[in-house]
Chain A
Amino acid sequence: MNLRKYLKVYKKFLHTSLASELEYKTNILVDLITAILSLVGSIFLLSIFFQNSGYIGGWKFEQALIIQAIYTILNGITNTWFNPNLTEIVKHIREGTLDFVLLKPIDSQFFISLKKINPSGFLEIMLGFLMLFFCIRINQINLNLSFMTLSLITISCSICILYSLWFFISTTTIWFVKTWNAIEVLRSFLYIGRFPLSSFSFSLRIFFSVFIPIAFITTIPSEVFLGLSVFWKILLEIIVATIFLINSRKFWLFALKFYSSASS
């Protein structure tokens, strides 16, 4: 793979998608307001849950805020990259414009995963990080190298799992053509990631760890922040993320063999 070429192409992707988005100023403004209101709403909801009892699943309100912060960062990443690109796969396949992607001398997964960007998602990412720094202060977390490395690894793994899940569902469009509903189900499952895994019943914990690993996405990075993490859980998240990423790639290449293009 020619890394220099891919960096050059990505620079062009950033330029063209930002230019496209900036054509519609009001839309960006509405998106920014929605992001702020959504975060305020989520914190308000969380505070209601903690009103009667100081703890949920063994987590204090201040600790649960870390999960909310990580969820906000991930949601920002989803809105910045995954949502504009991966939902477009469905359109590409339905309308047959995937033909143009497949005939370009560039990796098709790279192209369809990163071509677009939604700048309003950046605000969510920034808000998430601001909230995370606030949580680090109120929870008196000691910032050291091992903590920084572990949190970076676990958050990166979360991004990989989230991307792979979304990409996997979008790829099935090659057979099923319409998969909007499955993506909506995934998004609603992601909301669950705002709460500590231990706050759910045993069977739900198994479901969200094994079948749809939403739990890995926010809970494990949050545990790292609170110093509650255990080595095997971090290792497991790395393994799960690697398996998901490799399989999403293999699944895409496999699915392309069944691509029949839309009729003209």
Chain B
Amino acid sequence: MAQNIIDVKNLSKSFDISSKEPGLKGTIKHFFRRQTKSLKVIKDISFEIKEGEIVGFLGANGAGKTTILKMLCGLIYPSEGSILVSGYLPFRRKENFLKNITLIMGQKQQLIWDLPPIESFYLNASIYDLDKFEAKKRIKKLSEMLEIDEELFIPVRKLSLGQRMKSELLAALIHEPNILFLDEPTLGLDINAQRNLRKFLQKYNKETNATICLTSHYMKDITSLCKRVICVHEGEISYDGKLDLLLKKLSPVKEILIVCRSEEDTIKLENSGFTVKNKIKNEITIKIENNSIISSLKTILNNFDIVDLFINEPPIDEVIGKVLIKKDYDI
């Protein structure tokens, strides 16, 4: 059984935030006498993550996801509580701890802007004390996994966002870390680039058993990568568990579009006790609860003259969107 690699207990973080009234008067007042207040952005959270797990952190903007990631990788000191990552206190930033982790941020870059990415890779390799031969081997392996080749020799400023992100990943993974912290890694990428990145992360996780903590506003990232999600709402954990359980809880019904042979059948269907969403001529959309879907479909197929039918899952963004605005999910 996999061991816990991340252990967080009663973690809280407060920041001093200054606020400013609008207008010139407010600006002058703000300049001479700054009003600051302490804002608790993370409130007494606890969770554990096992080795090799991919966990998605979900939450609205400002919910505290990135702050949690930054505390886990040791960038921010926690105000209260304890964090243990791979047996280390992250904020001490010990060399062996740093050699085990990496942070990738979709909106920030570490590559040297005017030079080809290969130069940044070798610089990182020297920082992680890798010899030239080992660095070359790892660059080759990762570039094959990421499907980049010629791009390695083109100045970063001339690469597309997708090519840059792949290079960022390579630069961040050259030391083969065990724990990856990814803060919106697919931000701004086109659909194909997003899919390639997800494919790479899945492959990396499978090959190295690395633990991945991910935040993303693209639901496809979460659904295709994470079995477990931690939902953060105003600094508190509102849900921590399996993604499919959450989805079932949040969307207990499926929508079924039924195309009947005649309009009479749709009227009969409408009057047979199903919850109807809408009806247009010989097409009717009904809602059926997940746990009775098989029996209901049998009844429909046996008793009505059906030409075609479509089972529609509710849009995932819409479902997850409910998590971002609600505090507790009792599952």
- A residues engaging B (CB < 8 A)? 2, 5, 8-9, 11-13, 15-16, 19-20, 23-24, 95-97, 99-100, 102-106, 257, 259-261, 263-264
Q: Which residues of A contact B120 (CB under 8 A)?
A: 16
> Which residues of chain B from 86 to 136 have any CB-CB distance to chain A below 8 Å in the complex?
93, 95-96, 98-99, 101-103, 105, 107-110, 112-115, 119-120, 122-124, 126-129
Stretch from B73-81, B232-240, B299-307, B310-318 at the A interface? B73-81
What is the bound-complex CA distance between A259 and B76, given in angstroms? Answer: 7
When the two chains form their complex, are residues B114 and A23 in contact, meaning their CB atoms are under 8 A apart? yes
Q: Looking at A2, A5, A261, which has the most chain B CB atoms within 10 Å of its CB?
A: A261
Q: Which residues of B contact A2 (CB under 8 A)?
A: 129
Given A20-B115, A259-B76, A264-B107: A103 touches B126 (CB 8 Å cut-off): no
Interchain Cβ contacts under 8 Å between A and B, 11 examples:
A8-B129, A9-B126, A20-B113, A20-B114, A96-B108, A97-B110, A99-B75, A103-B101, A105-B129, A261-B76, A264-B66
When the two chains form their complex, are residues B66 and A5 in contact, meaning their CB atoms are under 8 A apart? no
**Residue of A whose beta carbon sits closest to that of B15:** A260
Q: Which residues of B contact A257 (CB under 8 A)?
A: 77
Beyond A11-B126, A20-B113, 13 additional pairs, beta carbon < 8 A: A5-B126, A9-B123, A9-B127, A16-B112, A16-B120, A19-B115, A24-B114, A95-B108, A96-B108, A103-B102, A104-B124, A257-B77, A264-B107
Given A103-B98, A260-B76: A23 touches B108 (CB 8 Å cut-off): no
When the two chains form their complex, are residues B184 and A264 in contact, meaning their CB atoms are under 8 A apart? yes
When the two chains form their complex, are residues B66 and A16 in contact, meaning their CB atoms are under 8 A apart? no
- B residues engaging A (CB < 8 A)? 15, 66, 70, 73-77, 93, 95-96, 98-99, 101-103, 105, 107-110, 112-115, 119-120, 122-124, 126-129, 155, 183-184
What is the bound-complex CA distance between A97 and B107, given in angstroms? Answer: 10
A218 shortest CB reach to chain B, Å? 34
When the two chains form their complex, are residues A16 and B155 in contact, meaning their CB atoms are under 8 A apart? no
A110 shortest CB reach to chain B, Å? 10
When the two chains form their complex, are residues B105 and A264 in contact, meaning their CB atoms are under 8 A apart? yes
What is the bound-complex CA distance between A99 and B70, given in angstroms? Answer: 9
When the two chains form their complex, are residues B108 and A100 in contact, meaning their CB atoms are under 8 A apart? yes
Q: Which residues of A contact B105 (CB under 8 A)?
A: 99, 264
Q: Which residues of A contact B119 (CB under 8 A)?
A: 15-16, 19
Q: Which residues of A contact B127 (CB under 8 A)?
A: 9, 104-106
When the two chains form their complex, are residues B103 and A103 in contact, meaning their CB atoms are under 8 A apart? yes
What is the bound-complex CA distance between A261 and B124, given in angstroms? Answer: 21
**Residue of B whose beta carbon sits closest to that of A8:** B126
A226 shortest CB reach to chain B, Å? 44
What is the bound-complex CA distance between A1 and B93, given in angstroms? Answer: 15
What is the bound-complex CA distance between A264 and B99, given in angstroms? Answer: 24
When the two chains form their complex, are residues B123 and A100 in contact, meaning their CB atoms are under 8 A apart? no
What is the bound-complex CA distance between A195 and B218, given in angstroms? Answer: 62
When the two chains form their complex, are residues B101 and A12 in contact, meaning their CB atoms are under 8 A apart? no
When the two chains form their complex, are residues A105 and B114 in contact, meaning their CB atoms are under 8 A apart? no
Q: Which residues of B contact A24 (CB under 8 A)?
A: 114
A238 shortest CB reach to chain B, Å? 32
When the two chains form their complex, are residues A105 and B95 in contact, meaning their CB atoms are under 8 A apart? yes
When the two chains form their complex, are residues A12 and B123 in contact, meaning their CB atoms are under 8 A apart? yes
When the two chains form their complex, are residues A16 and B115 in contact, meaning their CB atoms are under 8 A apart? yes
When the two chains form their complex, are residues A105 and B103 in contact, meaning their CB atoms are under 8 A apart? no
What is the bound-complex CA distance between A5 and B125, given in angstroms? Answer: 11
B83 shortest CB reach to chain A, Å? 15
Q: Which residues of B contact A8 (CB under 8 A)?
A: 126, 129
What is the bound-complex CA distance between A102 and B181, given in angstroms? Answer: 14
When the two chains form their complex, are residues A261 and B75 in contact, meaning their CB atoms are under 8 A apart? yes
What is the bound-complex CA distance between A259 and B77, given in angstroms? Answer: 8
When the two chains form their complex, are residues B129 and A5 in contact, meaning their CB atoms are under 8 A apart? yes
B30 shortest CB reach to chain A, Å? 14
Given A16-B119, A259-B75, A259-B76: A100 touches B110 (CB 8 Å cut-off): yes
Q: Which residues of A contact B183 (CB under 8 A)?
A: 264
Given A99-B70, A264-B66: A23 touches B155 (CB 8 Å cut-off): yes
When the two chains form their complex, are residues A263 and B123 in contact, meaning their CB atoms are under 8 A apart? no
Q: Which residues of B contact A13 (CB under 8 A)?
A: 123
Q: Which residues of A contact B76 (CB under 8 A)?
A: 259-261
5 tightest A-B contacts by CB?
Answer: A105-B98, A100-B110, A105-B95, A20-B114, A12-B126
Given A23-B114, A264-B107: A12 touches B99 (CB 8 Å cut-off): no
When the two chains form their complex, are residues B108 and A16 in contact, meaning their CB atoms are under 8 A apart? no
